[in-house]
Amino acid sequence: MTILKAENISKQYRLGLVGTGTLKHDVNRFWHRIRGKEDPYSKVGAVNDRSTQAKEEYVWALRDINFEVQQGEVLGIIGKNGAGKSTLLKILSRVTGPTTGSIKTKGRIASLLEVGTGFHPELTGRENIYLNGAILGMTKAEIAAKEDEIIDFSGCAMYIDTPVKRYSSGMRVRLGFAVAAFLEPDILVVDEVLAVGDAEFQKKAIDKMKAISTGEGRTVLFVSHNMASIQNLCTRVMLLNNGMVDIIGNTEDVINHYLHKYRNEEVSQDLASRKDRKGNGKLKFLDYWIETVDGKKVNAMQTGGHFNMIIKVNNVSDFSLNNVRISVGIDDDQARRITVLGNDLTNELIELSNRQIDLIKILIPKVPFQAGNYHFTLFASEGEDVLDWVMNAGSFEVEHGDFFNTGRTIQQNQGNILVHHEFH
């Protein structure tokens, strides 16, 4: 049974202005509509491509989106930053309306789009549970029957009677997901906010979404950059590119298409000029390279060798950044997270002076990666503030090497990571 159907969904924004346009344009649209004429602005507007400079007044965030979702299905939605994923979810969740097209749904929709979405900051966690349930049309008795499960799953029992404005971003995500998942929606819409939570909670959330779809026959729409989560959870995947549907189909086929076509396009762009980045902009990643111990730049690492990764950053703010967290999330060629390099893990302090470009050096004394191609994401924060975050910021090659110092290179595939060990 079809539970959600999107027909010719398009969303247009006017650049540089608050709202959808001027009074003149709104009146013009209304005049055309009451005469049965086509929207005069439906044929204008640039494609939603963040890598280019806008030359037109209007931009199509989404254009002619058509798809159906069956009851009990888990549909994954993937694409580069700026592809239109979050805009589509907001339209499906009735947060904003489409410029053209229609959406037909059956049943209640619960959404987790941004950290704290749907929460009143002055109300306690418990009060927000009842508020969200009431918005979904549930009775007080129905919400009360689920209250203990929601609190237990969220892990926020100690703070459940504290105003939500005191919660950390991770606590808000945990409680928000628990509320959305346990109040029995017919359609659960989840954006990539789960990335804010810790690894243990992410696994719990994935398992819960599986149970919702397979055990309870409910439908899930899931947006994520984590291809392992998409592959583990989704029955079908839709790939968006520049606000349009590129392909919808089998999970593995769509993921492979995305990885081979688009991820390499992202990595090939100049890091400093990348537009698809998140953060408050106080710090900016400019460049990166790999070098040997004696400072010679190289194109590839070698398994078992000693190499340094250099990351060029610019503190563009007027203030020094005193406790910066820099992390490098390394993925294999299937976008599975292999490891993370971070100064918070090694307990090393990074301080950056205002209006200054610095080089961050990460020493890798014995490269543990098997031969192959690896991509990485760059992330910088100060406290709760994200400074800069670039998905698929770069890539590097690893060549065969003598990791175990036995005089022979290891060339057969024995996993991605090599571990030093001894037998006694």
pLDDT tens-digit series, residues 66-109: 999 999 999 999 988 778 898 898 898 888 889 899 999 988 88
Supply the pLDDT for residue 17. Answer: 46
Among candidates 212, 247, 262, 254, which has minimal Cα distance to 230?
254
Supply the pLDDT for residue 110. Answer: 83
Taking 80 as the threshold, does the pLDDT of residue 267 lie above it? no
Note the pLDDT tens digit of each residue in 219-236.
Answer: 999 988 778 788 888 989
Taking 90 as the threshold, does the pLDDT of residue 384 lie above it? no
Domains and CATH numbers, the chain: 2-8+62-265 (3.40.50.300), 278-399 (2.70.50.60)
Supply the pLDDT for residue 269. Answer: 78
Taking 70 as the threshold, does the pLDDT of residue 316 lie above it? yes
In sequence order, the 6+-apart residues with CB closer than 8 A to the CB of 220 are: 73, 74, 75, 187, 188, 189, 190, 209, 212, 213, 233
Mean pLDDT score across all residues of the chain: 85
Supply the pLDDT for residue 236. Answer: 95
Among candidates 317, 332, 333, 328, which has minimal Cα distance to 385?
317
The predicted model scores a pTM of 0.68
C-alpha distance from residue 223 to each of 113, 194, 231, 241, 261 (Å): 9, 10, 12, 14, 19
Among candidates 343, 339, 341, which has minimal Cα distance to 352?
343
Residue 406 tokens read as 């036995």
Supply the pLDDT for residue 95. Answer: 83
Mean pLDDT for 253-279 is: 83
3-state secondary structure of 316: coil
Note the pLDDT tens digit of each residue in 16-42.
Answer: 444 445 566 666 666 666 766 666 655
Supply the pLDDT for residue 70. Answer: 92
**pLDDT over 90, % of the chain:** 44
**pLDDT over 70, % of the chain:** 85
Supply the pLDDT for residue 10. Answer: 92
In sequence order, the 6+-apart residues with CB closer than 8 A to the CB of 279 are: 380, 386, 387, 388, 389
Mean pLDDT for 287-313 is: 93
When mean pLDDT is compared across 48-57, 118-127, 135-144, 297-306, the lowest value belongs to 48-57
Mean pLDDT for 119-141 is: 89
Supply the pLDDT for residue 328. Answer: 96
Taking 70 as the threshold, does the pLDDT of residue 371 lie above it? yes
Supply the pLDDT for residue 18. Answer: 45
Residue 345 tokens read as 């893990």
Among candidates 361, 80, 52, 23, which has minimal Cα distance to 246?
80
Query: How many H helices and E strands in the chain?
Result: 9, 19
Taking 80 as the threshold, does the pLDDT of residue 322 lie above it? yes
Could you give the CA distance from residue 19 to residue 39 in angstroms, rounded to a whole number? 17
In sequence order, the 6+-apart residues with CB closer than 8 A to the CB of 256 are: none
Could you give the CA distance from residue 216 to residue 269 in angstroms, rounded to a whole number? 44
Taking 80 as the threshold, does the pLDDT of residue 349 lie above it? yes
Residue 400 tokens read as 């065969």
Supply the pLDDT for residue 317. Answer: 92
Terminal-residue alpha carbon distance, the chain: 61
Residue 408 tokens read as 């022979």
